[in-house]
Amino acid sequence: MKVCKLHSLALAAGLLVSASAMAAGELNLYNWSDYIPQDLLKRFEKESGIKVNLDVFDSNESLLAKLKAGAKGYDVVVPSDYMVKIMIEEGLLEKIDASKMANFKLVEAPLNKPDFDPKREYSAPYMWGVTGFTYDASRVPGGKLDNSWKSFFTPPAALKGKVVALNDVAELYKAAAIYLKVDQCTEDPKQAKRIQDLLEAQKPMLAMYNSDGTIERMQAQEVIMHQQWNGAAYRTRQKLKSAVFVYPKEGIPFWNDNLVIPKGAKNRDNALKFINWMMEPKNIAEASNFTGYNNAIKGSTAFFKADLKADPAINPTAAMRALFVPSKTCSAKANALRDRVWTKLKK
Q: Would you list which residues are annotated within the binding site for spermidine?
A: 82, 168-171
Task: Please tell me what DSSP assigns to residue 297.
Answer: B
DSSP-derived pairing of the beta strands 163-165 and 225-229? parallel
Pairing, β 124-136 against β 252-259: antiparallel
Establish how many alpha carbons lie within 13 A of residue 40's alpha carbon, considering only the half-sphere containing its beta carbon: 21
How deeply is 22 buried, as exposed, middle or buried, from its count of CB atoms within 10 A (0-12, 13-18, 19+)? exposed
**6 burial via Cβ count (<10 Å: 0-12, 13-18, 19+):** exposed
φ, ψ at 16 (rounded to 5°): -80, 115
Torsion angle of C-alpha atoms 189, 161, 175, 126, degrees rounded to 10? 130
User: Which residue numbers belong to the known binding site?
Assistant: 82, 168-171
Q: What does the alpha-carbon distance between residue 145 and residue 140 come to, in Å, rounded to a whole number?
A: 7
Instruction: Count CB neighbours of 133 within 10 A.
Output: 26
CA of 1: how far to CAs of 72, 80, 303, in Å? 23, 7, 22
Cα–Cα distance measured from residue 212 to residue 221, given in angstroms and rounded to the nearest whole number: 15
The rounded distance, in Å, linking the Cα atoms of 35 and 291 is 6
